[in-house]
Amino acid sequence: MNFTGVRAQPTILVFDSGLGGLTVFRETVKARPDARYLYVADDAFFPYSGRSEAELVERVVAVMGELIADHTPDLVVIACNTASTAVLSPLRARYKVPFVGTVPAIKPACAASKSKRISVLGTEGTVRREYTQALIRDFAKGCDVKLIGSARLATIAEAGLRAEPVDEREIAAEIAPCFVDGDGRRTDTVVLACTHYPLLLGRLSALAPWPVAWIDPAPAIARRVLDLLGKPGNNAKPIVTPAIFTSGRKPAPALARALADFGLEAPTAAITQSS
């Protein structure tokens, strides 16, 4: 379904608690290279995992109102599992702009698993949400699904983007509960239920005790954007504004280079929004 009234060159706002949404941003740009883009990192409230659902709803609904008023996007991508499982419904109730959320890819993971033993690796907030539990009830279809809430991986991923030291032993400890070997079956699929985690995919694969399929939600989100906005037009070059950091902090040089690698122009020009 395409939305009517969308501009020939639509504006797409990609929103995350931090920098994990860059993985979704990159795939969305590939899908709609003709669009105008805005990337917003709510780093003043990072990490979302430790926040209550009520806090998240109050925060994200308010910040989103300012962003919509200032930038009039045609579509908003909530590139954060924790925010999506808590805030999508209130956002859709408050604002007319279409929202694309990011939720744990339990259905496709269970469909693809051969051993029928999968793990869902997310933030502590995502794995405890009723939304996630409902996905398991609706779509597990005989799969043994293990939920693992990581307290540190999102922060570790952000540290890596900033070229700060990353302790691989800590990563290995965070992912170890994902791997279950018993009753003649091994975990063969791990759902990455946080958009930060694909930033660590190389390390995750190297540190895994055996090979598994890692399910990155970003390509599916990009396909949903195409479903809603339609195929790209003739203008093949995206127009990207500087990244917005709600804290107003200026990115350090290493982070500025990382943002540039994702195609964000002028990444040193941080812009203050609600704090």
Task: State the Cα–Cα distance between residues 96 and 3, nearest whole angstrom.
Answer: 11
Interhelix angle 81-94/53-71, rounded to 10 degrees, is 60
120 phi and psi, to 5 degrees?
Answer: -115, 110
How far apart are the C-alpha atoms of 257 and 133, rounded to whole Å?
Answer: 38
Catalytic residue set: 80, 194
Cα separation of 177 and 18, whole Å?
25
* Radius of gyration of the chain measured on its C-alpha atoms: 18
